[in-house]
Structure 1
Amino acid sequence: MLTTDFVPGTPNWIDLGAPDTEAAAAFYSAVFGWTFRSAGPDAGGYGFFQRDGRTVAALGPLTGEGASPAWTPYFHTRDADATTDDVRRAGGSVRVPPMDVFTAGRMAAFTDPTGADFAVWQPRTTTGVDVVMEPATLCWTELHTTDTTAAKEFYRSVFSWRYEDMDTGGGTVYSVVSAPGGGTGDDAGQGGITPLQPHGPASGPGSAWHPYFGVHDCDATYATATEHGATGLLAPTDYPGVGRLALLKDPSGAPFALIKGDPSTT
């Protein structure tokens, strides 16, 4: 499961690119009780979503021509420059080359060979988000991809990820992801890789990472989100051994999921 004892290859940051950051901050405040704190006048509108004074995620304006609203997961690295080389060798592309973020750390952003965007964070003064695996915080990251074989090989090459494949019925295989040093046994899972279903609830223009946020009450949070302009993709549904989950797009179109329960028990 996710922890804040970050090791290479585990999620240590997540941010939302939005066309209207004020509207996005208002929406997620209504849904999760988050507050938004600016990173300062030199941060270009970037800032932090916080709950009880602890950073749970971040928010910034869309950058880059043609960028779409989306949540982007960041994975821990000890060397963003070396990881960039690994991404290139494995067939990925570099969207943002390694750059320092003040004294907080060093980041780089990429697209995997199947078209999904992700990033890495090399910590300095900021190790990552302050809290995970609590209500209104990140508890799982899930890749919906057009090519699970290519995606798994890519991330194995870049992060040395391990996979536990599970048959979910109908010939669909769900791969639970873990990173070396990220836990053992039932505590090892940090996310999943699953085929992008052309007509499924998470269908979209291509491969993408989706964050799951924990909630006390999936139905109530889903109702609040849709009342504030979110589009429901999958109404709250029970998944044995996983929990009760729902999929949505926020008012700008960025996908995210809710879950009551610990998905690492899958």
Structure 2
Amino acid sequence: MTNPAPGTVAWFEIATSDPDGAEKFYGNLFDWTFDPDGPGASSGMDYRNIKASGADGSMGGIYGTDGQVPDHAVFYILVADVEGTCADAEQLGGSVVSKHLDPGPGAPTFAYLRDPSGNQFGVFTPPAA
């Protein structure tokens, strides 16, 4: 598996209060499989990595929200510097919704941003190897 280049959409997330239902729907629709040991599993978070049939690795995740946030889907763009990208987005008229610069061992650094039209998306840097 090759690593995606910075500036590319490299991950997506489906946040839902019904992760079992989402897993059944997307699994049957697209022949996806799911790994319940995604990032955050060690902290008790319900996060399931998604893998497409025939793919080398995971491409996204289902996040079980427990109803704590509205259901949504978001795409993530790989960047070299999350904090720098946040500053650049603000300079260009966007806004930072939240930053997670120290999410814990094995988890990526990430932030949620909004473009000037209000569309939310994520940026991330993978955890150090």
**Separation of aligned partners in 1, 2:14 and 2:57:** 17
**Separation of aligned partners in 2, 1:7 and 1:90:** 22
2:20 partner letter: E
1:59 partner letter: I
TM-score, length of structure 1 as denominator length: 0.41
Tell me what 1:56 maps to: 59
Give secondary structure in 2 for the equivalent of 1:100: coil
The alpha carbon displacement at 1:65 in A equals 6.7
Show CA shifts across 1:193-247 (max 9, x none). xxxxxxxxxxxxxxxxxxxxxxxxxxxxxxxxxxxxxxxxxxxxxxxxxxxxxxx
Aligned residue pairs: how many? 123
- Is the CA contact 2:10–2:59 (under 8 Å) kept in the aligned structure 1? no
Check 1:60–1:100 CA distance in 2 against 1; reply closer, same or farther (3 A cut).
same
Flag the structure with higher strand content.
1
Question: Rg: which structure is higher?
Answer: 1
Give secondary structure in 2 for the equivalent of 1:72: strand
Question: Structure 1 residue runs of 4+, over 4 Å off?
Answer: 63-66
The structure 2 residue matched to 1:75, chosen from 77, 81, 101, is: 77
**Separation of aligned partners in 2, 1:83 and 1:17:** 23
The alpha carbon displacement at 1:62 in A equals 3.9
Give secondary structure in 2 for the equivalent of 1:46: strand
Tell me what 1:116 maps to: 119
* Identity value in percent: 26
**Separation of aligned partners in 2, 1:99 and 1:22:** 29
- Is the CA contact 1:18–1:70 (under 8 Å) kept in the aligned structure 2? yes
**Separation of aligned partners in 1, 2:84 and 2:66:** 24
- Is the CA contact 1:4–1:12 (under 8 Å) kept in the aligned structure 2? no
Q: 5+ unaligned residues in a row in structure 1: which ranges? A: 127-266
Show CA shifts across 1:165-184 (max 9, x none). xxxxxxxxxxxxxxxxxxxx
1:18 partner letter: T
The alpha carbon displacement at 1:104 in A equals 3.7
The within-5 A match list for 1:100-249 is 100-101=102-103, 102-125=105-128
Check 1:66–1:80 CA distance in 2 against 1; reply closer, same or farther (3 A cut).
same
What value does the CA root-mean-square deviation take over the aligned residues?
2.6
**Separation of aligned partners in 2, 1:66 and 1:60:** 11
Check 1:87–1:98 CA distance in 2 against 1; reply closer, same or farther (3 A cut).
farther
Check 1:41–1:5 CA distance in 2 against 1; reply closer, same or farther (3 A cut).
closer
Show CA shifts across 1:134-165 (max 9, x none). xxxxxxxxxxxxxxxxxxxxxxxxxxxxxxxx
Tell me what 1:46 maps to: 47
2:50 partner letter: F
Tell me what 1:37 maps to: 35
- Is the CA contact 1:12–1:121 (under 8 Å) kept in the aligned structure 2? no
